[in-house]
Amino acid sequence: MKAMYAAFLATVVIAVGAWYALGEIGFSAGDRSSSPAVRLGDS
């Protein structure tokens, strides 16, 4: 069962890594339909 637990842990690590990376490159739907001149959310 070690392989299963290791894979689940890897899933969490990959997800957090992807979240950080996607946030950094600004590829959310909001980001794509916006610009510095458009105020969305908290900004």
SS (H, E, C) 1-43: CHHHHHHHHHHHHHHHHHHHHHHHHCCCHHHHCCCCCCCCCCC
Q: Determine if 16 is a binding residue for another protein (CB under 8 A).
A: yes
Q: Determine if 40 is a binding residue for another protein (CB under 8 A).
A: no
The angle subtended at Cα 28 by Cα 26 and Cα 23, nearest 5°, is 45
Least distance in angstroms from the C-beta of 17 to another protein: 8
Least distance in angstroms from the C-beta of 42 to another protein: 14
Q: Determine if 3 is a binding residue for another protein (CB under 8 A).
A: yes
Binding site for another protein (CB under 8 A): 1-4, 6-8, 10-11, 14-19, 22, 27, 29, 32-35, 37-38
